[in-house]
Chain A
Amino acid sequence: MAQQIQSIVIVGGGTAGWLTAGVIAARHKARMKAGFSVTLIESPTVGIIGVGEGTWPSLRSTLEKMGVSETDLIRHSDAAFKQGAKFARWTTGAEDDGYYHPLMLPQGFTQLNLAPHWLSHSDGRSFSDSVCPQEQLCEDGLAPKTIATPEYKGAANYAYHLDAGKFAPFLQKHCTERLGVRHVPADVVSVNQTESGDIKSVVTRQAGEIAGDLFVDCTGFSSLLLGKTLGVGFKDCSDVLFCDAALALQVPYDAPDAPMASHTISTAQSAGWIWDIGLPTRRGTGYVYSTRHTSDAEAHETLMRYVGPQHRDRPVRKIPIRSGHRETFWKNNCVAVGLAAGFLEPLESSAIVLIELSAKLIAEQMPACREVMDIVAARFNDVNHYRWGRIIDFLKLHYVLTRRTDSGFWRDNLLPESIPERLKNLLQLWKYQSPWFFDEFDRLEEVFPAASYQYVLYGMGFRTEVGPMDNADTEATASRLLRESAVMTRQLRSQLPKNRDLIRKIHEHGLQRI
């Protein structure tokens, strides 16, 4: 008799735990009558890390599938819209050095690659501004939709900025009240394993022994189940990504109705970069830096210079960053999601999207019985190794295209031994052909699509050679697409409200579901 997988036990709350619980419970809701269950054990004493305040557009469909109302999300997670990121001072370090990585794809992206056309005649406009409206929308501080746009729909593509400290309890309420997730507030004190090494149960101080068929490790950096119990090692990648600490600081607005950016602002510094995220009630800022290249005290000064001396007395929180991931993500009957699986500097908000993708994969590929679990696990590990590798490449891309030589941090980032082989090869290839969706990036659910690579490459002044006749056949289509983008930009700029105003209206009136 095959051992059915019926009882899912998630250890650890936070964004990872509750998102995973919600995605699995929503997907298998109908089976709950037949004995399927999702239990989440959360320590009442361990706090959540909760720095992840930037998300990807995938969160919209993830939450919609869980049955979450977007209006509730905005009201209860202090959420606002995010339409991309602006990278300031990454290329030359000059005052006016900056580029956008918007969330909209270049116009007609699946029809035609506009990059070679832009490369041959850009008439001084940035790549992102030429091929999509979103740079202008962000510069104008506009929202990606209006009060009459249904929930989760947008006139422009968008994700959220949110308060992770509020997001987790919000998800908890939804999961326990609507999706039938059992919440056990208890501390795990020991883990029982079978002879084969599978986890049989966890023993908690407050709620006794809790058995399960599949355990999801969402215990954060400690990786209690996968790391400590099953002994899966950690693959450090600080040789590629140097930042190993962050100082986080919340900054109030000057006035409650002060403009709120609808994009993340990431400003390069001498030993790292500062994030700046506009939530409705405050800004979240933080300096991500390399302790090999600066001291904590110097980092603190850098952050103070950025936010202004009036915020000197506000509490600053230091967060260690251990860049890397588990050598295996699913072993025996235990799979890690979130920080327990790994962590990278929050440069492109990859943390929450990785949680979503893992949770979705677990929910969709939920093994029917123990006998087939190892097959699912092997596939899960393949996909996750690929994803982590690609994210590391993509984050490193931001550093290797710099022309800054003003500090050891930037100079060291160009050392060949710090650049992954695959990225080196791609950089070589991209000199002659630009990344496009019709190449290897066209994987199902690529974390960063080829468009993202284009925005970063051409935003940072990378040049791909374009032959004299390369564009001849597609010139007419390209001009049409570029005109369409310009028309759409004009229309959206005249129709869309300010980001701040729309959030206020959603708090007042709510969005309609249709």
Chain B
Amino acid sequence: MSNIVVLNSGAHRDVRVQAGASAKLGDNQRYVQVVVTEFPLLAVHYPILLSKDTETGAFFCGAMLGIDEGENLFLKEGGGHEGYRPLNLQRAPFFVSGNELAIDLEHPRVAAGKGEPLFNDNGEATPYLESIKAAFQELKPGIEMTKRFIQTLLLLDLLEPIDVILGFDDGSKRNLADLYTINQEALRKLPDASVVELFRRGYLQLIYLLIASLKQIPVLAQKKNSRFLSG
């Protein structure tokens, strides 16, 4: 159940939010939607792969944080997130509604009534709330920029499906389907004019970050494997 309402310094003066990364509070996500401005921060930790929205079929970019459903291998035992925590995890339990910030009052981060306050005694936003606003200032235009980036990739036929098949020391196998990445063959064959265009729009760097992030797949698998080993 959720109860999303527009945030109001009067009505929500006493609301507190548990902001830290935690599986119980909703960071237990295997695959999180990300935006292009995050790519440099993500690519050194996680594979960034594309997938399709099941409702619309539209492509989006996401960071792989785990292998199995509900598994984020970067959550620390006592709380907190190793590496960069994607904006989409940072922003919970907030949303935007038009130009206004909204909050889900039924979210587990809110329900307990403890954690970071949103407003100080003068009704002004706390540094925590400011950080949420900053996250949305990046996310909102970021989603649009990411859409345009993906449109360009599709137009140039630069995407291809990738089958990720992983074997673990406990003998189990995982087949991660419905994932897409850059078709490097097609990239090499691009005419010069398209390459320059991609470079000028800053897309070439994003493309190479996507490619480089594939190296994180074995790292991620190793991370999961070490959990099997440690029992």
Binding site for B on A (CB under 8 A): 146-149, 505, 508-514
Q: How far is the CB of B187 from chain A (nearest CB, A)?
A: 15
Q: How far is the CB of B83 from chain A (nearest CB, A)?
A: 29
Interface check B54, CB cutoff 8 A: yes
Interface check B191, CB cutoff 8 A: no
Which has the most chain B C-beta neighbours within 10 Å: A146, A147, A149, A510?
Answer: A147
Segment with Cβ contacts to A, from B21-29, B55-63, B72-80: B55-63
Q: How far is the CB of B88 from chain A (nearest CB, A)?
A: 20
Check A514 against B161 for contact (C-beta < 8 Å).
yes
Q: How far is the CB of B183 from chain A (nearest CB, A)?
A: 9
Check A514 against B58 for contact (C-beta < 8 Å).
no
| Residue contacts A-B, CB under 8 angstroms, 12 given | A147-B56, A148-B54, A149-B57, A508-B56, A509-B57, A509-B58, A510-B57, A512-B52, A512-B154, A513-B154, A514-B160, A514-B180
Check A148 against B52 for contact (C-beta < 8 Å).
yes
Chain B residues near A508 (CB-CB < 8 A)? 56
Check B159 against A505 for contact (C-beta < 8 Å).
no
Contact with A along B151-185 (1 / 0, CB 8 A): 00010000111000000000000000010100000
Check B180 against A147 for contact (C-beta < 8 Å).
no
CA distance A508 to B59 in the complex (A): 15
Interface check B69, CB cutoff 8 A: no
The answer, among A149, A509, A513, A514, for a CB contact under 8 Å with B56, is A509
Contact with A along B34-56 (1 / 0, CB 8 A): 00000000000000000011111
What total count of A-B pairs have CB within 8 Å?
A: 32
CA distance A512 to B58 in the complex (A): 7
Given the interface contacts A512-B52, A513-B154, A514-B180, does A147 sit within 8 Å of B57 by beta carbon?
yes
The answer, among B53, B54, B55, B159, for a CB contact under 8 Å with A514, is B159
CA distance A514 to B53 in the complex (A): 14
Given the interface contacts A513-B154, A514-B160, does A146 sit within 8 Å of B54 by beta carbon?
yes
Binding site for A on B (CB under 8 A): 52-59, 154, 159-161, 178, 180
CA distance A433 to B176 in the complex (A): 43
Known: A147-B54, A509-B57, A514-B161. 4 other contacts (CB 8 A): A147-B52, A148-B57, A509-B56, A513-B154
Q: How far is the CB of A56 from chain B (nearest CB, A)?
A: 25
CA distance A511 to B52 in the complex (A): 11
Q: How far is the CB of B227 from chain A (nearest CB, A)?
A: 29
Which has the most chain B C-beta neighbours within 10 Å: A146, A508, A514?
Answer: A514
CA distance A424 to B54 in the complex (A): 51
Closest 9 CB pairs of A and B: A147-B57, A148-B52, A509-B56, A148-B57, A509-B57, A512-B57, A148-B54, A514-B159, A511-B57
Check A148 against B161 for contact (C-beta < 8 Å).
no
CA distance A315 to B123 in the complex (A): 71
CA distance A365 to B54 in the complex (A): 43
Chain A residues near B58 (CB-CB < 8 A)? 509, 512
Check B161 against A505 for contact (C-beta < 8 Å).
no
Q: How far is the CB of B159 from chain A (nearest CB, A)?
A: 6
Q: How far is the CB of B61 from chain A (nearest CB, A)?
A: 15
Chain B, residue nearest A71 (CB): B57
Which has the most chain B C-beta neighbours within 10 Å: A146, A508, A510, A512?
Answer: A512
Chain B residues near A509 (CB-CB < 8 A)? 56-58
Chain A residues near B160 (CB-CB < 8 A)? 514
Check A512 against B59 for contact (C-beta < 8 Å).
yes
CA distance A510 to B57 in the complex (A): 8
